[in-house]
Copies of this chain bind each other. A is one copy, B any other.
Amino acid sequence: MRIGMLGTGMVGTGLATKLVQLGHEVMVGSREKGNSNAVEWVKKNGANASNGTFSDAAAFGEIVFNCTHGADSLNALNMAGEGNLDGKILVDVANPLDFSTGELRLTVSNTDSLGEQIQRAFPRAKVVKTLNTMGVPIMVNPSMLPGEHTVFMSGDDEGAKAKVLEILKSFGWKDAVDLGGIKSARGAEAILLLWIHLYGKMPDGKFNYNIVRG
C-alpha cells in the first residue's frame, strides 16, 4: 500500500521504517522537502522510501499518518491540503503536548481532543486516533514487552478502524481496544498526563498499559 507519513521525527521515521519493512511504499513528508531527517531516512530505507513536502506525502498516500507535533498538527495538515486527504484514512498518532511552562500540559483536553479537532477541520478524512499512548519502539514492536498489553483506537468510521486494525496486527499488536467514536480520543490523549509520570519512573520508556479483564 502507498502510505504518506507526515512528520520526520522519531515517531514518523520509526513508523515509516516499519511500514517499509512490511512491504509498503512510504513517502515521508515535512515542511521543507530538503529536511535532513527525511533525506537520511530515504537513504537507509531503499526503493520503497521517498520524501517530499507535507502536500506531496499526503497526495502520495492511500492512507496518511499524522506524526507531527500535536501543537502544530492542524497547521501541518492544512499544508498537506484538504484535497489530498479527502476520503482517506488519516491515522492520528500525535499528542497535543505543551511543555512551555516546564511541566507537561495538553493544549486541548477533557472537553475536546486533537483527534476531534482534526476530524472537524477535515470532515471528509476518516480520522483514526491510535498508537499515541506508548513510545515508538513499542508501537512498531509490541512483543518487546512481556505478556499482553493494549493499544487503543478511536474513530467514527468503522471501515477505517478495521483497516487500521489490520496495520496494527501487522505490527504485532494482539490487543487493540476500540474505544468508540473520535470523541473517545479524549481518553487516549489524556493518558499522556499519566504517561509523563510513569516515564519519570521508567525513563527508558519500556512500559505500556494492559487492560486486565475479569
Contact = CB atoms under 8 A, between A and B. Distances in A.
A186 interface: yes
A197 B180 contact: yes
* Dominant secondary structure of chain A at its interface with chain B: mixed
A195 to B, nearest CB: 8
Interface string A173-192: 00001111001101110110
Nearest to A208: B212
Contacts of A201: 177-180
Copies of the protein in its oligomer: 2
Contacts of A41: none
Q: Interface residues of A toward B: which range?
A: 35 or more
A188 B194 CA distance: 6
Given A177-B201, A179-B194, A179-B197, A210 B213 contact: no
Contact of A146 (B144, B200, B214): B214
Interface string A135-175: 00010000011111100101000000000000000000000
10 contacts: A109-B109, A145-B213, A152-B194, A177-B198, A187-B194, A187-B195, A187-B196, A187-B197, A191-B194, A210-B210
Interface of A: 103, 105-106, 109-111, 138, 144-149, 152, 154, 177-180, 183-184, 186-188, 190-191, 193-198, 200-202, 204, 206-214
